[in-house]
Chains A and B, each alone.
Chain A
């Protein structure tokens, strides 16, 4: 076994070296290294910038790039100097709602959203440059929205965001002026927009969170300059929480999205419970919205976990060969591994078997929920923050598996665990079950310098050694993180940012 592992690791190393070398020869990577979209230059994001395989100074989209790996090539902050990390500035939103976004940064300007608010912030000092705001939608239509917004998409010099009443806004990134606005789920009750849109090539793709009565799903594409609707997939907004945007492979020209309802089972009636709890991964032609393939995810048992996951696109050694994979840490507690071209399920790993032993809800899986995972090109490990939540069935679970001192009617038990999973060996490399004792809806990011950033215990933000999970640094924020971290740089100064409550915290070296 050990010998086999050695061979696969060696092959993997060489294949990765080759891949990395080819990446740096690509002209579009070279472009991202030039002084375009750097501080002091006008913003001009091209499709090539978005498709670049290395995330450098700018963090251009919700996941940083279109693959969803949340892996930054920045390496100024290392495992050695991370202990010197200090708070640089805090941006406080005067809104009642918490900040749930991952900010984007381009040319030293950060764009951060709250529900129906968009802030442009000087990424060096935290000073607000402009602010677009509109009233939250009151009444029935917005009632299904929890008034959370996950962030913006960027293309050319324009910003795109969804509103709580499912409108797509296009704003001038220089001024925050609204250039156009289109309602994308018009005619359906109880819909809202929450996800960050996905900008690819010349279009912007949105998905809608729907009300209690809608059982389908909706993914729609709009022309990035005119706002004209190009296509839509699915008939109705999906009943799902925590809208999460999909990913895009420019070579296959396909977008990948976790979706729900009739889009997964078109034959079933909208009222059937099968439709309600059915989730799947779809691949769509980015130009037409036509379905390329559809692959079911494990049946949803707890509607409270009807939360979409990120289909992470990665090139890695899997079962001895270097290949493209989609890995979804789904909300039912499984790691699902797909072939991006055909949708074939290559493997499925029960994340529940990685759960801590003191778990008392045997029926529950560890659910990555709306915590975006990360795949490190440095350690080749897939990291995800999982949530064990016994809210839906704690009473049954406690009755079935009595634990001394536990009461059936006790408070919901939520526990986050950070897991590091090696796709090549199929083994759990390490886990940190001390990260949070409450719901910490934070994703993770990894860096080329071998760091893993995430929410930590006692409402903190932490940096760990990605290889071992050893926590190297942490900062108590006084509130649980509510957004996922990101990293950016201005000249040679690297920063980490994470939202917690109404505040956005930014850290850097002295």
Chain B
């Protein structure tokens, strides 16, 4: 696709996206309001009354699923938000985030604020109690992480493991079992060659091998597997080659059977504390 074509597609996307998203947000907002209205009429059916409060106060900006919109960030899966304690979320709701335009919602009263926090926990996929069902055995999953799966060659969990890949200590927080499964057996890969080993030979006879940690038009910084950083001036690069395969194995679907994958997912969930009720206040977290 030529650059012009790309630009046109992008333009088209922007044009379509805005009204569509807005329409969906509105519809869902109405849907929530209607649902809660229906709920009031049929009290037997257990629907969280906070959904209506969320729908009429939060969904317009954060989206009805809390995954963000034009005006406000994703509060359902963004880990920085999911990792906040109930007390911190309550404080944000009461005080607002004035710098970014979020108004304070203290007028709703403590009871509704509490309901909103609980409802947000549901949207975050950690449930009102924050407890998730584990699909397998986390103890077995831990063995796979550190041995058979060799995940720990690159990834770290709570201070143990490698450093080249992402720290997975809280990776599963706010992520469903299905999302974790996809990430393991169909890894999305990092953009570009970020997780491909790069080999560089310089004009002064040195050679370096590692992952690119920073680059611009003049410099490139590699990190080799012993942790050392190599800051190289591009002018001095004689030869540079990028491995075709990313570091993240692409064959876990065949390498590990269904049970093992479930065990591994369970270990990730347990490590992130997703199997426990989410912290209710600051002290619980410490």
Contact = CB atoms under 8 A, between A and B. Distances in A.
Q: Do A and B bind each other?
A: yes
B229 interface: yes
Contacts of A135: 80, 84, 88
B105 interface: no
Contact of A178 (B91, B159, B208): B159
A186 interface: yes
B33 interface: no
B163 A172 contact: yes
B57 interface: no
Contacts of A124: 219, 231
Contacts of B156: 172, 175, 177
A39 B221 CA distance: 11
Contact of A129 (B88, B213, B216): B213
Contact of B228 (A107, A127, A178): A107
B167 A175 contact: yes
B226 interface: yes
Contacts of B87: 139
Contacts of B167: 175, 177-178
A107 B224 CA distance: 14
Contacts of B159: 170, 177-180
B104 interface: no
Dominant secondary structure of chain B at its interface with chain A: mixed
Contact of B216 (A40, A41, A127): A127
Contact of A122 (B169, B219, B228, B286): B219
Nearest to A124: B231
Interface size class of A (residues with CB under 8 A): 20 to 34
A444 interface: no
B221 A129 contact: yes
Contacts of A183: 286
B67 interface: no
A173 to B, nearest CB: 8
Contacts of A43: 227-228
Contact of A40 (B88, B91, B214, B228): B228
Contact of B163 (A138, A175, A180): A175
B227 A174 contact: yes
23 contacts: A40-B208, A40-B228, A108-B229, A122-B229, A122-B231, A125-B214, A125-B218, A129-B221, A129-B229, A139-B87, A139-B91, A157-B227, A170-B159, A174-B163, A174-B223, A174-B227, A175-B163, A175-B164, A175-B167, A177-B156, A177-B159, A178-B159, A186-B286
Interface of A: 39-43, 107-109, 122, 124-125, 127-130, 135, 138-139, 141, 157, 170, 172-175, 177-180, 183, 186
Question: 6 closest pairs, A vs B, by CB?
Answer: A174-B227, A175-B163, A127-B214, A179-B159, A177-B167, A42-B227
Interface of B: 80, 84, 87-88, 91-92, 156, 159, 163-164, 167, 169, 208, 213-216, 218-219, 221, 223, 226-231, 282, 286
